[in-house]
Every structure is written in C-alpha cells, then in structure tokens.
Structure 1
Amino acid sequence: MKPARLAMLTFCFAVLFLHAGAQNPLIRNQYSADPTARVFGDRVYIYPSHDILATEGKGRVGWFCMEDYHVFSSANLTDWTDHGVIVTQNKVPWVRPDSYSMWAPDCIERNGKYYFYFPTTPNDTVAYGRGFRIGVAVADKPTGPFVPQPEPIKEVRGIDPNVFIDNDGQAYLYWSAGNIYGAKLKSNMLELDSEVKTLGELPTKGLKEGPYLFERNGIYYLTYPHVENKTERLEYATSDHPLGPFKFAGVIMDESASGCWTNHHSFIQFRNQWYLFYHDKDYSPRFDKARSIRADSLFFNADGTIKKVIPTLRGIGVTNAGSEIQVDRYSAISNDGVSVDFIDTANRFAGWKTNFTKHNGWIQYNNVDFGSTSPKRIAVNAMSENGGTLQIRTGNYDGPVIAEVTVPGSGGFAVSKAAVVKAVRNRQNLFVTSKDDKKISVDWVRFE
C-alpha cells in the first residue's frame, strides 16, 4: 500500500473512532476552549478553539496559542467524535501564517450551507489594518470540508464572532473589541447589511467580550463574559430586539473557582433541555491559557430569567454501565477519606484517579444506565499497595451493596472483578465506598 494511501486511511480511522468521554471536560485528548455548540439535525456539534502550548518560534510563550480548529459531534451528549481539523491558519489566504491566533469561532447553517466564522490576524496590515479581523469558511456539511473566503468581512474588526438568525430570516453578526458590537448580515452571510451598532447598555466597568445571542419565548438574550472583579464571569442582558436596547439581567455563572481568567460559552436546546457550554483549565491547573471545554444543564425561571449554573465535574449525558465509568468526575463526594488527583502529572490527559483512605469514604456518580438486564459482574481498574475492599452501592452512599470488590496489593493499576450480588436495572446513581482504612486508588469501574 502506498504511504499516502495508508496515511489517509489512518486519518479517516481516527476521525471515525476517536471518542471523548461524557463527563467534564468533554474533550479528553487535547486542549479546547471557547465552545460554540450547535444543533444540526439530530446531532450536537461543538466548534471550539484549540489551545496548544507555545514554544520558541511557535507563538508567544506564556500566552494564548492556537493554529487550527477541530469540530466534535455527538448524538447523545455522551460519546463525542473528533472529526479532525476543519480550518488551519496556513490555509487561509488572508491570514498571517505564523500568527497562532485562531481565537473563538462560531458556525451556523443557512439554506443547506454551513458558515464558519473565525477571528485572527491578517498578513497584510496595509490592506486590512492592524489587529484582528473576522473571516468565513463555507461547507456543505457541518464537518466540512470548509473553504475559506479569500478576504475577511469588510468593516468588521475584532474577535469572538457570533451569528444569530431570527425567526423572520434576518441574520445578525456580533463580535467584541473593547465593546460588544452587532450588525445585520446579508443573505449571503458574508457581508454586513447595516451600520455597525455598539451595544452600549451593558456594564461599563471591566472587560466584556465573547457575545452569544439566542432567543427564547420572544426574549432576546445577549450573553457575554465580563470581568467584574479579577476574572471573567458569565452575564446576560435581555431585549425585545436582536440589536437592543438591552437591559442587564444577571449572572449566569460566577467566576471560576480554579482562577481561570477567561470563560467563553454558548447555549443550545437539545431534546427539550437547555445546556450551557463553557471552559475551565481542568488539564492545566497552573496555566490558564491551556483550557478544556465543559457543559452543564441550564434552567429558566417562570419569568424567563436564567437560573445560575453551578459548574460540575459530572457534566451532562447518561453513562452506559458497560463503559469505563470515570467516578473521579463525581456528582458528590464525602467530606473525609476521599480525594481526586491526576494519574500522571507528566501526562494529565491520562485523566484522574479517586483515592479512598478511610472506612465509609464515598464518591457518587449519577445517571448510569444499566438497561433492562442486570449485569453479572463488575470490573474495577484500581491500585492498592497493601490491598483493600471496595463496595459498590446504588441509591445512596449507605444504600444496598450490589458488589464487593477485593483489590489485591500491587505496585500499579490492575483490573479486579467480582460478582454483582444484587440485581440492578434502568438508570441509577452509583456509589463507590471504602470498606476499610487502606488506601485504594480507582481509575474506573465497568459492569459486564
């Protein structure tokens, strides 16, 4: 087989079969940020930016560094497929190829075409001026291939493009550059069709960026990250028109507990549930320019105001009991005797482990689907220097024991199995508890 043919087959295999987990962060094999989620057909697609670590001669060391974009999709919010690179800085005619500034994008469908909007720096400052411009790439499918337009959108300077199409078919483009701006788009989705309007009814103190506009029950929600104090929190304002005037309405998500300086987000409604997509620095706790995307459920009050979203590790989606259940992405955890840390600090994409050190220490993982037939066995990938015993429960941390797993003493992770002694079916909340005071580290559990 020719090398080129083999390379193409290898790439296609990766695109088809590279999956990410259901928990937060959603993407488990690379850094990702600034997620725009969209529902196209019966799937959810995420268009994030792609953080990489800058090195000498490749970006600005210690700063944001992005050279391309991937797209991910899922039919169930649990299994995410990486469809590979869709746009890269070296293949856009007007982009400076060494800019490494492919920042927060967006994508929207109109009349069977998919329009991907992205900000970056141009290669010709005489023609396009200094600073960021916003370009468009067009495709026939949400996964591409996307063909970049030869020039950026005229009269638009800034970052964080967002596109909204109203019920009457009028499209709008929003972006940020110190303030947040909006304008109508022509039906070709490539040119402005109105004067640029500064959306000036928002808080004036601190940085505002990353606009995302959506409509629900006749209310237009303009949402954006805002530095009220030291780092960004997500806020929103409402109006009865896509270009305002807007009235400040509240905070969607508080400043990150991790101290991540940025946040950037989007909203979708999928199968009658609303979701918020955002980012944090899960895989890079000491460097907030290498971020990871997350998602949590979103709810509204009866008057249309948004209930504040509390970030979770468990995230969204239902986990199949037959998959490797990462209990370290927990829904709740006991106050004593349980902790979570990286399996390998030199390779954080290897994930996390749950450390049990005290009798009755427990961790809770919600929404596990056992189906209509109870499993026969459970497998646990765990490590314990002196050996120990885990109990698997449902319902509550002191609920019925469905399995008891003995983990032998060893110097590394190994799979231990045990019988499921009490039938378990349908969707359940799962609890892993320690039977003794011996240290046991758990990577995952799986039912068979």
Structure 2
Amino acid sequence: MNIKKRPVWLKIAVTVSIITVLLFSYFHFFQNSTHETVENPSNSLSAYVMEDVLVLTQGEETNYEVHIVMNEIPTDIVELTSEIRIPEVLEVTDVILNGEKNIKADHIEFDLMDNGIELQLNNRDDSPIILASHDEREKIVIIKMRLKKELYEEMTDEIKVERLEVVHSDKLSETYDVTGAKSIVNYTPPKTAIGKQPPNGNPLVSHKFGADPYVLVFEDRVYIYATHDVLEYDENDNVVENTYGNINRLSVISSDDLVNWTDHGEIVAAGPEGAAKWATQSWAPAVAQKVIDGEDKFFIYFANNASGIGVLTSDSPTGPWVDPIGEALILRSTPGVEDVTWLFDPAVLIDDDGRAYIYFGGGIPEGQYEMPNTARVMELGDDMVSVVGEAKPIPAPFMFENAGINKVGDTYYFTYCSNFYDGDRPEGSPPPGEIAYMTSDSPMGPWEYQGTILRNPYHFFGVGGNNHHAMFEFHDTYYIAYHAQTLSKEMGVPMGYRSTHLNKVYFNEDGTIQEIKADLEGVESVKHLNPFQRVEAETMAWNAGVQVEKADTNEENNHTTNIVITDINTGDWIAVSGVDFGDGASEFSASVATETNGGMIELRLGHPEGDLIGSLTVTNTGGWNQWKTVSTEVLVEGVHDLYLVFSGSSDHNLFRFEHWKFD
C-alpha cells in the first residue's frame, strides 16, 4: 500500500542532493529574461542528483546522503537559491558545500521554514561563485537527512526541484525551468516469509520443495536427499496437480545443527542429461556410505517411476554422481520381485558386520488390501551396486509404499506407509496413510507387526496425501524426516507438492516407539552457528523472496561452480539461527557479484526489522560472475538470530551472493 504524505518544501541554493539513493534525471535550466522560456543549447546549464532512487530503511537510526551535481556555473553568478519538495518522513540535518574539491564559495546557509528549508549559497564579499572543475560528475552540494520516525508500511513519494534561481553580479536574477528534475523516494518493508515462519523449524526449507526424504549422517553432518518436486502448469500458466512424471532430479540439503540448512542444489539423476540416461524419472532416493578399498564411497538408490531401482555413485555426499552399471539395479527380472506391483521407494541398511541390504516395493494387487505382500528385502553385494540371491517378502499389513529400515540396539525396525483402503479393517490394523512399523532380530526377517507411529499429515496440518519418512540418529537422539504439503498449502497450491519436516522420535524401554507428534515447530538446534568461518549464503534457517542457482565463481582466479543466492530484490532477506558472536565481532564481509548498481545488505538481529548492527554497500563488480569480497564495520556480541535484509534502487535482481563471514 502506498502512503501519500503531506509534502515538505526544501529551498536550497545551487543544486540539491538527496541522500543515499535518489534519481535525478538530467534537467536543463532555461533562461527567462524576456518572460519567454527559451532553452539555450549552446550554454545549457544542467544539474542532477547522482543517485537514481532514495531507498529508505525502517529504522530512525539510518542516515541518508545524496549528492547534487552541476556541470557549470556562469562566471558572474553571485548567488544561487532553489526550492525542493521532499517527503514529510524525511528531515534535512545538514547541507554541506563540497568546497575543497570543486565549488568555491564561503557561505552556505539554510533556514527551516513552514514549507521546508531555504538555502542560500554565495560569497560574503559578493564576489562570483567559482566552479573549479567542469567534470559533470563533480559533487557540488551534499544533503544529509534522516527519518523523522520508523517506517512500517510501504510508501512511494518523490523529491522534486521546484525552482532554481541565480543572481548575477549586475543584480539581475534569472529563474530556470526545472520541470522533470525529480527523484523517487520509496520504502519497501521486508517481505513476509511464506511456508516457514520464524522461529519454526518446519518445513526445513521454503525456497523449494523436497519430497520422499532420506537421510545420511556423515562426519557430524546430516544430509537429506529428496525427490525434487517442481510446480507444473497448464497452457494458461495455472498450477496443476503434481503428476510426478517430469521429475528427474533429486534435491540435497545438509545441516550440522538441524536448524540452518545449506542447499547443495540438485542431482540430475535421470533423463537425457542425467547420470542414468536409461531412466526417465528419479523418485524417493535412499543413500548409503561405505568405505571401500580405504576410501569413502557414496551410493544413491532411486526409483525409475515404479518400474525399477537404479544406483549412482560418488566420492562425495554432494557429488558429482555417475552411473556405475549403466542399467537398473533391480528390475522385474530380479529374483523374488515378480509379484511386486511397484518397484520403488528403496531404503538401505549397512549392518555392523559390513553386509548391506536394500528394502523396497509397494502397491496393492487386485483386492489384496489387507496383505498386499509387496514389500521386499534383498542383500546387496560388497560393491553396493549389485544384488545377491533372491528378494524376500516382508508381510507388512495394509502395505502401500515407503520402505524404511533402522537398527536400534539388536533390533531391526522396518517402517512403511499403510494403504488408503476405505473398508473395514481388523482390530489392530494400521489406519489409512500412516507410518507403521515391524520388528525383527534379523535384517531379512521374520517380522512382527507392532503398530503405527506417525499419523497422516492431514491430522496435523489439514492437508493430506501420501506419507513418506526416514528415521535417523544424530547426537544420540533419534529423529524422523517426513514430508507434508505445508509450503504448497501456504502458497495456495496444495496439489501434491511436498516439503520435508523433522521431529523427534522417542523409544520406550521395551523398544516400542512412541507416537510421533508432527508440527511446524520442528526440533531445536544441537549447536550454535560459528560466524567466524565461511558461511555459504545458501545456508538458511528462514528466508523471503530469494532463490538459489549454480553459478561460476572465479574470485581470486579460483574458478569453481558453486550454489549462490540469486533473484535478490528489495525487501528480500535470508536469516540464520543461533549465531554465536562470542565476545564480539567488528567486521562483516561478503562475496557478491552484479552488473547493475547493486544495493545494500542490512545486518539485523532477531527480526527483519530488528536492531541494525551494520550495512554493507554492494556496487557493480563488472558482471554476474565477477565476484568480489566487500566488507563493512559492525558491532555485535552474544548469540542472536541474524537477518540479512536486501535493498537497492533496481526493481529486481540486485546482485548475487555467494558467502559471508564475520571477523
């Protein structure tokens, strides 16, 4: 909403500057000595403000500064005056003559008036004002301003030069037409987060979706791999139901505290450009790590729709990934899977003896709702990219999909999503769409049904769908990752687009699992974030408006491809939780790139409009892939949630942001 304020008039001699970011297009002064306004192209006087737009921030503590520039002052001018309209929210605190560098006059004075400020520029001895340099970008006057009060609502106004008058040495005066000499002044409040509101921990990220989560814990860090849901549209650009048919990428995020999540981008797993070109889709990944020949090796098992399961390998949990066998690992021809309706949704367990097992399957043969008998377990080869023997059935009551496997103590827990059969169920059977579990003393069974642990997402969030999960242990605590349509619901498109959530899992003394309560609150952090080491900009607890993408980063001639924050607009922000500044930090630095005029990063505590601890100006770096590290002074100590709020004069795409650090 735009707020129209009562205008204030600023009279200013010579030319005007209006703080931090204002646009004054060139304007010409026209002579009026014969009562006719006639432009004099041979000796055109022009003046402008260096900045395009004055972008205001919320707090009164921010000072603004703009610069007025003139190209020439006639040699016999002894006085300059001007009137300038400014928004009511601003007050002028000082007007400074740039005398040391360019303009030679010994007297500058401004008086507050009911309608603004009257400023007069002259020499006390009435000698002519001298313009030392004819460089058109030489600053003449600097105007300093501040807000009269904090801003909370969006506003747009303008600063406009209404009159410029010069007095010659013969005491004759001339008034110049300054029509069009104006600047835009605006304030855009920080945007509201969508889908994940501070201080909630769920969903884990809100700048993209992530379904069918699976978890790998490696080197004290949690990696979550997910189906990369993306919005689908019809011919009229309306969002439609997720068909899942176009999904050939997997998403990866990670965290060492379970609150601040780093986006590692997407794995192009299937399709013509994918690692597994034989596959058309990549759904519901499972991930494992194993030391082979003394080296860490990583394995992703994924579903090619429901027709088979493939495998990719890497030397890193974030890739790059390759297809080691060039075909599916599990197909209809695999022994023991002939009667499985859906060959998908794998889970993997590497046992204490080093032997590995893959769990998979789902679907309901005609009429067999109570005991579909479509869950399977099979041993993997030592190389993790082959299978051994024959797949064995797991008699999971009302099985639907989503195999899960964990070993806690000496007990194996097989978990799965129950089907949505709407008829009568025997007492003790799992209700529709819930996570159920079975236990065994062996990874291959036999299995005993125990009950359910997680209700359908509809029970908690008012939006349902399938129920997909993975349990894991981190810092001696068990957690469950599961998906729900909370983000897409908040976006107004609850049409099968899912996001990953986390909650704790509690075991009873007898080994049974307590019922899990899903919520938006999520889990608490297991550690504070260290701001004195490099933090990737795509590490976020919360955000509003931004996106991420891969970009070439060549700072200091070190060419790499990295994930960066992009699509940064005024009012966008990112935030990290629990930043421990210890006894204090004095400097903030950031790696940025832009081919525009850039913008500003405001550093605020606790809220997008919280206490300001520093502001970093970003200027043109020479290109979107030309990265520079810029820094600013700050003053902060203790533990805080840190918000990085973006602003600038451009309508969109201010700059790219790669990483940051405090010192």
Which TM bucket (shorter chain)? Answer: 0.5 to 0.7
Partner of 1:393: none
Question: Identity over aligned residues, as a percent?
Answer: 29
1:233 and 2:434 are equivalent in the alignment: yes
Q: In the alignment, does 2:355 pair up with 1:170?
A: yes
Give 1:288 shift.
4.1
Distance in 2 separating the partners of 1:96 and 1:106:
19
Mark the CA change 1:250 to 1:381 in structure 2 (over 3 Å): closer, same or farther.
same
Report if aligned partners of 1:119, 1:159 keep a CA contact under 8 Å in 2: yes
Give how far 1:34 is off.
Answer: 0.8
Q: Counterpart amino acid of 1:118?
A: F
Structure-1 residue corresponding to 2:400: 208
Map of 1:86 onto structure 2: 267
The answer as to 2:69 corresponding to 1:69 is no
TM-score w.r.t. the length of structure 2 is: 0.44
Say which of 141, 149, 168 aligns to 2:316: 141
User: Which has the larger displacement, 302-311 or 253-262?
Assistant: 253-262
Query: How far 1:378 sits from its partner (Å)?
Result: 8.4
Q: Determine if the alignment matches structure 1 residue 287 to structure 2 residue 491.
A: no
The Cα shift of 1:164 comes to: 0.7
**Aligned mate of 1:268, from 458, 472, 475:** 472
Q: CA deviation at 1:60?
A: 8.9
Distance 1:146 1:325 in 2: 27
Deviation of 1:191 (Å): 1.5
Whether the aligned pair in 2 keeps the contact of 1:92 and 1:150 (CA below 8 Å) is: no
Counterpart Cα distance in 2 of 1:170 and 1:27: 34
| Distance in 2 between residues matched to 1:93 and 1:314, nearest whole Å | 37
Cα gap change, 1:273 to 1:93, in 2 (>3 Å):
closer
CA deviations on 1:26-66 (whole Å, 9 max, x unpaired) are 02210111110111111111111110122359999542352
Q: 1:42 to 1:324 in 2, by over 3 A?
A: closer
Q: Compared with structure 1, are the counterparts of its residues 136 and 152 closer, same or farther at alpha carbon in structure 2 (3 Å cutoff)?
A: same
Find the aligned partners of 1:326 and 1:264 in 2 and give their Cα distance. 24
2:385 maps to 1:194: no
Question: What is the CA–CA distance in structure 1 between the aligned matches of 2:413 and 2:346, rounded to whole Å?
Answer: 16
- The question of 1:46 aligning with 2:227 is answered no
1:253 maps onto 2:454 in alignment? yes
Letter in 2 for 1:25: P
Distance 2:541 2:327 in 1: 46
Task: Tell me the secondary structure at the aligned position of residue 284 of structure 1.
Answer: helix
**Cα offset for 1:193?**
0.6
Contact 1:260–1:288, Cα closer than 8 Å, also in 2: no
Distance 1:416 1:37 in 2: 35
Higher share of residues assigned strand: 2
How many residues align structurally?
A: 324
**Contact kept in structure 1, 2:299 and 2:314, CA below 8 Å:** yes
SS state of the match for residue 283, structure 1?
helix
RMSD: 3.8
CA distance in 1: counterparts of 2:384 and 2:278, whole angstroms: 23
Structure 2 CA distance, aligned partners of 1:380 and 1:196?
A: 53
Give the 3-state SS of the residue equivalent to 1:151 in structure 2. Answer: coil
Greater Cα offset, 310-319 or 287-296: 310-319
Spell out, residue by residue over 1:97-141, the C-alpha distance to the aligned partner (whole angstroms, 9 max, x if none): 7x4x321001101111101111114xxxxxxxxx52111111011
SS of 1:210's equivalent?
strand
TM-score, length basis structure 1: 0.63
Residues 417-436 of structure 1: CA distance to partner in whole angstroms, max 9, x if unpaired? 59xxxxx98899xxxxxxxx
Residue 304 of structure 1 corresponds to which residue in structure 2? 511
CA contact (8 A) 2:269 2:275 kept: no
Match of 2:289 among 96, 109, 117: 109
Q: Give the C-alpha shift of residue 143 in structure 1.
A: 0.8
Q: 1:193 to 1:77 in 2, by over 3 A?
A: same
Larger mean Cα displacement after TM superposition, 243-252 or 254-263? 254-263
The partner residue of 1:219 within 411, 419, 425 is 411
Partner of 2:45: none
| Pairwise CA distance, 1:313 | 1.1
SS in 1 for 2:387: coil
2:375 is equivalent to residue 183 of structure 1: no
Paired residue for 2:443?
Answer: 242
Name the amino acid aligned to 1:107.
Answer: V
User: Residue type matched to 2:320 in 1?
Assistant: P
Contact persistence 2:407–2:413 (CA under 8 A): yes
Give me the whole-angstrom Cα distance separating, in 1, the residues matched to 2:604 and 2:528: 13
Cα distance in 2, alignment partners of residues 41 and 320 from structure 1:
17
Q: Give the AA of the match of 1:115.
A: F
Q: Whose Rg is larger?
A: 2
Alignment-derived partner of residue 28 in structure 1: 206
Offset of 1:320 from its aligned partner? 6.1
Q: Is the 8 A contact 2:302 2:345 kept in 1?
A: yes
Matches of 1:72 and 1:25, distance apart in 2:
12
- Point out where structure 2 has 5 or more consecutive residues left out of the alignment: 1-195, 364-373, 423-431, 532-538, 544-571, 586-602, 613-636, 642-663
Cα 1:248/1:190, change in 2 over 3 Å:
same
Question: 1:73, CA displacement in angstroms?
Answer: 1.2
How far is the alpha carbon of 1:163 from its aligned partner? Answer: 0.9
